[in-house]
Structure 1
Amino acid sequence: MTDPSRPVTGYPATPYAQPSGGHPYSSYPTYTQRQGPYSNAYAARATFIRRFVGAMIALFVIVGCIMLVIWLVLRPKVPDFRLDSLSLTNFNVSSSSQSLSGTWSVGFSVYNPNKKLSIRYEEVVSSIFYRNGFISETRVQPFAQGRKDRNFVNATLSAVNSFVDAPVVRAIEVDRGRGTVSFNVKVLARVQFRNGGWRLRRRLLRVLCRGVAVSVSSNSGSGKLAGGSRGCQVGVLEIISVPSLPSLPSPPRIQLPSMSETITASDSSGSRRQLYIYLAWGTGIFVVLFAVVVLLVYLILRPCRPSFILQDMTVYNFNSSTAPPFALTTKMQVTLSSTNPNSRVGIAYQSGMDIYAVYRDQQITLASLLPGTYQGHKEPVVWSPLLNGDSVPISPLSGEAFAQDLNAGTVMIKIKLDGKVMWKVGTWISGNYHLNVLCTGNIKFGDMIIKGQPTDPCIVEIGL
């Protein structure tokens, strides 16, 4: 650079003069971290995301807890049905015409076991069968039932010369000869559980009183319930429309499905539904508890990414070719420090982290490997790698810009760090997370060793 007319193309390499004793650059000052506009915007976005995720988790936990408390407090139970009385009059069976006549008066007692829920019964329909043969049905007046209340419901069913199949006629005559005839009584109703202004959706209530024995002699057309009061099977299913019955037409002359098959299918469906309900509640409780644990862990630990500072840049060789193809030769030493801001979370830096220099988005040095290390709570870590690049090709635009920057006396260099880290809490260690650090410094040329000045705080990104 003795000829003033010659353009400046670089700074000559200077010998490496290591001072005696200690680290050669221990006397260099430590640059404090300064907040730039990009860093503030990044921190604001990260804070917003953390708060949004925390609010969503808290909302989910609160809603789940409310649902769980409501279920634990209310816990709706199905009502208890008992058949207390059944009287039969005008009972007659004709084998020649395959017809049946009679009047059945049935009395039920209905008990609501719920302490906090009342029950409303609507569209109540009662029917009577003999084995698989339908005989008659009738509608019952709707009624409401308070908490822990017991109601008595009566239903009268009649059949006049109703057609029945020949096997049913023969079976009734055989039972009648033995002195008792057993019937199946069924009740369908649309029910709704209520607690003040809060109401559950309507469901279908199915009641079956199986094998109700009536004492009937062969010479008499009347009889009464044999064996006293008996309990009935009760199930609550999803709502199914119960057809309104403005008038009761004659029963169709077809054979209905077996009563035992109908109830077996109903019981099986009810058991499956109950199992699904238990599985749903179990899954919901597990999710709520898991969310609570995650929220507590997040609030207690609140892991933050480490902060990086480019403390020093010392350049020993920084030259560029004067004509195309442009190439850049670089030798520098950088001092990069990291601080763990977490008070409960340690950071494990994995071996094989790459650090290199970049000029105008082009890598100008080979990647140097940093050793892995563990960073405890509130603990700093310092690396001072040497970065070398021998005649690294750069684009013509970068070459011309480098010459202009040299004439101006300042060259902006970026230092990039790529690696993997793991979080450590006690004996628990997380999986690997990608660490990307970007630091920027300005190289200002002097007489001997060239020094660099950090321009902005390092940008730190951690992702999966």
Structure 2
Amino acid sequence: MSNKHGRFLMPWNWKSKTMQQDPNPRPATGYPYPQPGYPYQNHNPYYAPPRNPRAVLLRRLFIVLTAFLLVLGLILIVFLIVVRPQLPNVYINSLSVSNFNVSNSQVSGKWDLNLLFRNPNSKMSLHYDTVLCSVYYGRASLSDTRLQPFDQGKRDETPLNATLSVSGTYVDGRLADSIAKERASKGNVEFNLRMLSWVTFRYGAFRRRRWLTIYCNDVALAVPPTTSSGKMLASSQRCKSY
């Protein structure tokens, strides 16, 4: 077709207009196409969101505290390996009983005890608070007494004397029968001693306080039924410290 000026005109076609406007246009290559319902994601590997200053401070404080505790623990371990604190050694040098009598479920007696405390530490001195000393038959406590506090230097030895007495104390009938049978069959009676105290280990400015328990079990005293006194059969006996 041509117009009045002689120019050739393309015939109008509705299909050509439809082809010019694509109903489903595609995004240009190189730009992400956001999906409905999903936020846009930044794929820049060098991008980092801003940090919370408080969280950073807390993280650094935690790291510093952890490092300090590790160093302190390492120093303590090295110190304990070098110094090697040891519990004291305790010995019974002698033990005797007098006025010993068991009858009608009652016990009477007086125990005279001589102890030796030895500090095995070559680099640490010791301080003992009041020492509670008790005498037992089996698990039954018969008498107890308290010893005064004392100090010990490095590798020192300290002898201590103690007297424990009981007069007419009631005991269980089975306990009284057990003592009588032991005296009749063996001619001796085995007693148990226990000592309790707080002990402080000293090394320069270092102080370490701990609870000390000392057991002296099965200490045999020759006490025949015909006598009321007797002495320890062994010349000495070492106790156990915990």
TM bracket (short chain): 0.7 to 0.9
Equivalent pair of 1:317/1:332 in contact (CA under 8 Å) = no
Seen in structure 2, the aligned counterparts of structure 1 residues 448 and 318 have a Cα distance that, compared at 3 Å, is closer
The alignment partner of 1:341 has SS state of coil
Corresponding residue to 2:57 among 269, 272, 275: 275
TM-score normalized by the length of structure 1: 0.40
Structure 2 letter corresponding to 1:301? V
Equivalent pair of 1:313/1:453 in contact (CA under 8 Å) = no
The equivalent of 1:232 in structure 2 is none
Corresponding residue to 1:452 among 232, 239, 242: 232
Corresponding residue to 1:392 among 169, 187, 191: 169
Corresponding residue to 2:99 among 301, 305, 317: 317
The alignment partner of 2:239 has SS state of strand
Does residue 414 of the first structure (1) align with residue 202 of the second (2)?
Answer: no
The equivalent of 1:369 in structure 2 is 146
Seen in structure 2, the aligned counterparts of structure 1 residues 288 and 316 have a Cα distance that, compared at 3 Å, is same
Cα deviation, residue 284, structure 1:
2.8
State the structure with bigger RCO (CA 8 A, min sep 6), 1 or 2: 2
2: CA distance, partners of 1:382 / 1:424: 21
Does residue 335 of the first structure (1) align with residue 109 of the second (2)?
Answer: no
TM-score normalized by the length of structure 2: 0.74
Equivalent pair of 1:305/1:341 in contact (CA under 8 Å) = yes
The alignment partner of 1:364 has SS state of strand
Cα deviation, residue 313, structure 1:
0.6
The equivalent of 2:204 in structure 1 is 426
1: CA distance, partners of 2:213 / 2:74: 31
1: CA distance, partners of 2:127 / 2:237: 25
2: CA distance, partners of 1:158 / 1:438: 82
Q: Which runs of structure 2 are paired with 1:11-90 in the superposition (5 Å)?
A: none
Seen in structure 2, the aligned counterparts of structure 1 residues 339 and 318 have a Cα distance that, compared at 3 Å, is same
1: CA distance, partners of 2:215 / 2:99: 22
Cα deviation, residue 343, structure 1:
1.2
Corresponding residue to 2:124 among 337, 341, 345: 345
Corresponding residue to 2:213 among 436, 459, 464: 436
The alignment partner of 1:343 has SS state of coil
Per-residue CA deviations over 1:206-262 (Å, capped at 9, x if unaligned) read 1xxxxxxxxxxxxxxxxxxxxxxxxxxxx4xxxxxxxxxxxxxxxxxxxxxxxxxxx
The alignment partner of 1:337 has SS state of strand
Corresponding residue to 2:88 among 306, 315, 337: 306
2: CA distance, partners of 1:448 / 1:403: 12
Structure 1 alignment gaps of length 5 or more:
1-135, 139-156, 160-185, 190-204, 207-234, 236-265
Cα deviation, residue 350, structure 1:
0.7
2: CA distance, partners of 1:449 / 1:414: 17
Seen in structure 2, the aligned counterparts of structure 1 residues 299 and 458 have a Cα distance that, compared at 3 Å, is same
Structure 2 letter corresponding to 1:429? R
Equivalent pair of 2:93/2:237 in contact (CA under 8 Å) = no
2: CA distance, partners of 1:449 / 1:327: 17
Cα deviation, residue 384, structure 1:
1.0
Structure 2 letter corresponding to 1:332? W
Per-residue CA deviations over 1:77-110 (Å, capped at 9, x if unaligned) read xxxxxxxxxxxxxxxxxxxxxxxxxxxxxxxxxx
2: CA distance, partners of 1:137 / 1:318: 110
The alignment partner of 1:374 has SS state of strand
Cα deviation, residue 283, structure 1:
2.3
Structure 1 letter corresponding to 2:165? N
The alignment partner of 1:287 has SS state of helix
Seen in structure 2, the aligned counterparts of structure 1 residues 137 and 347 have a Cα distance that, compared at 3 Å, is farther
2: CA distance, partners of 1:361 / 1:306: 24
2: CA distance, partners of 1:460 / 1:423: 15
The alignment partner of 1:267 has SS state of coil
Q: What is the percent sequence identity of the aligned residues?
A: 16
2: CA distance, partners of 1:137 / 1:437: 87
The alignment partner of 1:406 has SS state of helix
The alignment partner of 2:67 has SS state of helix
Cα deviation, residue 391, structure 1:
0.9
Seen in structure 2, the aligned counterparts of structure 1 residues 448 and 328 have a Cα distance that, compared at 3 Å, is closer
How many positions carry a matched residue from both structures?
Answer: 202
Cα deviation, residue 434, structure 1:
1.9
Equivalent pair of 1:358/1:415 in contact (CA under 8 Å) = yes
2: CA distance, partners of 1:417 / 1:435: 8
Cα deviation, residue 445, structure 1:
3.2
Seen in structure 2, the aligned counterparts of structure 1 residues 319 and 276 have a Cα distance that, compared at 3 Å, is same
The equivalent of 2:14 in structure 1 is none
